[in-house]
Amino acid sequence: MNALIVEDEPRAQRILENMLRTHFPEVTVTGVTASVKDTLAWLSAHKADVIFMDVELSDGNCFDIFAQGPVDAQVIMTTAYDNYAVDAFKVNSVDYLLKPVDVDDLKRAVERVRQRLDAPSASGKADAVDFSKVLEAFQAYQAEESAIPAAAPAGPHREKFLIRLNDRIVPVHVNDIAYFYSESKNSFIVTKAGINYVLDDSLDTIEQGLSPKAFFRISRSCIVAESVIDSVSKLLGGRLRLSLVRGVPAETDLTVSRARADAFLTWLEG
């Protein structure tokens, strides 16, 4: 099975390629692209059985690719959007992977693709998805998310987190936290000193206890403290890239999605 990875984040590219190489020896990554333009050029000269395609790319989004004509391959969408946006994929029977990609989810998606390739329809090809309907549902989600401001968490804000390290308990004050992130179903704290701790709580639970003035959830997998943001760069496609103050390591993707960008800038300005 030949695969194309369409992903503009180098770290996400490497992680997905390594997961495929480790767990799916029958899958050969024959190409990696990072933009709409490069993907269209690649598809004009090559063929793939399956495409792992990020929703937002450096010069637009994946739907700009489908608008150029039918894509003759199975598609697995990859996205950092939350479960509400994923409804656009579920309703239209699109395979998708939420970032950070979980290996079990990847196995299920690849197996579904394999089954479709092994049992094509009467036309002799695996059934294609009508991506115009997916685009309509996704655009409706983006409009709704942009229009509704995030609600402030109820109740008192947490002042510290207790980290359990074997037989020790280490208190970490929120003022010392640079950001929270999730990966492979685990949650982590990264402190301003660059120390990484594992947390038991999910990011949804963590977010409810944080001050909305001090922290902002830039994506499904990352919550950042205002105090560690050094600068913000605009990317093509309406997204934002965060640079942190010196000494704070970037352990995860620090990109603000297009749908969250306006709310983030309003928060940062306030």
Digit-coded pLDDT (tens) for 85-143:
566 666 555 788 887 788 999 999 999 889 888 876 545 555 556 677 777 766 776 66
Q: CA 89, CA 134: separation in Å to the nearest integer?
A: 6
Domains annotated on the chain, with CATH: 2-147 (3.40.50.2300), 160-269 (2.40.50.1020)
Mean pLDDT in residue range 190-215:
92
Q: CA 95, CA 114: separation in Å to the nearest integer?
A: 12
Query: Which of 9-13, 36-40, 117-121, 147-151 is least confident?
Result: 147-151
Flag whether pLDDT at 183 surpasses 90. Answer: no
Angle formed by the axes of helices 131-147 and 83-91, to 10°? 160
Q: What is the pLDDT of residues 240-259, one digit of tens each?
A: 889 999 999 888 878 887 77
pLDDT of residue 148: 45
Q: CA 60, CA 37: separation in Å to the nearest integer?
A: 9
Do the beta carbons of residue 206 and residue 217 sit within 8 Å? Answer: no
Mean pLDDT in residue range 157-164:
92
Q: CA 53, CA 148: separation in Å to the nearest integer?
A: 27
Q: CA 53, CA 38: separation in Å to the nearest integer?
A: 13
pLDDT of residue 173: 96
Q: How confident is the model at residue 166 (pLDDT cuts 50, 70, 90)?
A: confident
pLDDT of residue 145: 56
Q: Which amino acid is at 101?
A: V
Q: How confident is the model at residue 236 (pLDDT cuts 50, 70, 90)?
A: low
pLDDT of residue 154: 54
Do the beta carbons of residue 176 and residue 170 sit within 8 Å? Answer: no
Query: What does the mean pLDDT of the chain come to?
Result: 84
pLDDT of residue 129: 61
pTM of the model: 0.60
Bigger pLDDT: 72 vs 185: 72
Radius of gyration from C-alpha coordinates of the chain: 20
Flag whether pLDDT at 150 surpasses 60. Answer: no
Q: Which of 26, 22, 76, 86 is nearest to 51 (CA)?
A: 76
Q: What is the pLDDT of residues 56-95, one digit of tens each?
A: 887 888 888 888 877 888 889 888 765 545 666 665 557 8
Flag whether pLDDT at 187 surpasses 80. Answer: yes
Sign of the C-alpha dihedral computed for residues 57, 62, 65 and 67 taken in this order: negative
pLDDT of residue 60: 81
